[in-house]
């Protein structure tokens, strides 16, 4: 396939949506927990659902609730959200070579629903040169995650009391185990292993010794810098 002909195809989007439904169920549970927490902080149902629909950033939304009150501190809130979501800088950078030849509307539509799970699965597909599968996982899978998160938030106002602490059921480990599986099943060459080792080590050190949430930025930057240092042995045709 020539890059000039690259485009999203509906069957692959549908397949991507279906393949992300299992992990989306756990996203629904955390969406419900967020809906309950938002209601306890005084947010209305519509405000909470609109936040999940338009922002679609679970950890950041929970972080915002910690700062919510009669007077919202805008600057600390913005810094907190940036710190938690800094990993998206790395996500965008790794995805760019694979989506840059899509038309701008399609490219930015994909990035609106890009998150950890569909990014990990799509990168594995891209590494195997399965371009259409990767694009379908990105967009179709992203739509599934986004829809389940928003629906979970809405359900939290009615069902949240039954799952107000997902961590007590071990649900907080699901996404971490899922992403670890993607890493272990991915490319295992020396370069990739070094990048993961440096990013993981730097992130762990930052988690132990630096301010809260800084490990996200430190890990992302460290992995990115190591990738630049090692260089890319692949060249465009």
- Give yes or no: residues 135 and 192 share one domain: no
In a domain, 4, yes or no: no
Q: What are the backbone angles phi and psi of residue 158, rounded to the nearest 5°?
A: -115, -30
pLDDT, position 237:
42
- Mean pLDDT, all residues of the chain: 80
Which residues form the domain of 156?
A: 10-186
In a domain, 2, yes or no: no
- Give yes or no: residues 24 and 40 share one domain: yes
In a domain, 1, yes or no: no
- Give yes or no: residues 128 and 29 share one domain: yes
The four Cα atoms 99, 101, 102, 108 give a dihedral, to 10 degrees, of 50
In a domain, 5, yes or no: no
How many domains, the chain? Answer: 2
- Give yes or no: residues 114 and 14 share one domain: yes
- Give yes or no: residues 145 and 204 share one domain: no
Task: Tell me if 61 sits within 8 A of 85, measured CB to CB.
Answer: no
In a domain, 3, yes or no: no
- Give yes or no: residues 138 and 206 share one domain: no
pLDDT, position 235:
43
Please check the confidence at residue 42 and state whether its pLDDT lies above 80: yes
| Token digits of residue 132 | 């259409």
Average of per-residue pLDDT across 55-83: 81
Please check the confidence at residue 22 and state whether its pLDDT lies above 60: yes
pLDDT, position 231:
64
pLDDT digits (tens, 9 = 90+) for 84-104: 787 788 788 889 989 999 999
């Amino acid at each position: 396939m020539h890059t000039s002909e690259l485009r999203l195809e509906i069957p692959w989007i549908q397949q991507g949506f279906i393949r992300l439904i299992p992990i989306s169920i756990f996203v629904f549970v955390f969406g419900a927990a967020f809906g309950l927490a938002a209601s306890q902080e005084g947010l209305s149902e519509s405000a909470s659902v609109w936040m999940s629909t338009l922002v679609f950033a679970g950890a950041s939304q929970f972080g915002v609730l910690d700062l919510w009150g009669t007077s919202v501190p805008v600057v600390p809130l913005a810094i907190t959200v940036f710190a938690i979501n800094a990993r998206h800088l790395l996500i965008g950078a790794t995805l760019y070579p694979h989506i840059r030849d899509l038309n701008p509307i399609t490219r930015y539509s994909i990035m609106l629903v890009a998150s950890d799970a569909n990014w990990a699965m799509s990168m594995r597909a891209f590494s195997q040169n399965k371009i259409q599968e990767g694009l379908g996982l990105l967009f179709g899978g992203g739509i599934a995650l986004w829809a389940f998160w928003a629906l979970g938030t809405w359900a939290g106002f009615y069902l949240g009391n039954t799952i107000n602490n997902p961590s007590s059921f071990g649900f907080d480990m699901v996404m971490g185990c899922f992403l670890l599986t993607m890493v272990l099943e991915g490319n295992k060459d020396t370069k990739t292993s070094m990048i993961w080792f440096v990013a993981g080590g730097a992130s762990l050190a930052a988690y132990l010794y630096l301010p809260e949430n800084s490990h996200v930025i430190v890990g992302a930057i460290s992995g990115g810098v190591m990738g630049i240092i090692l260089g890319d042995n692949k060249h465009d045709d």
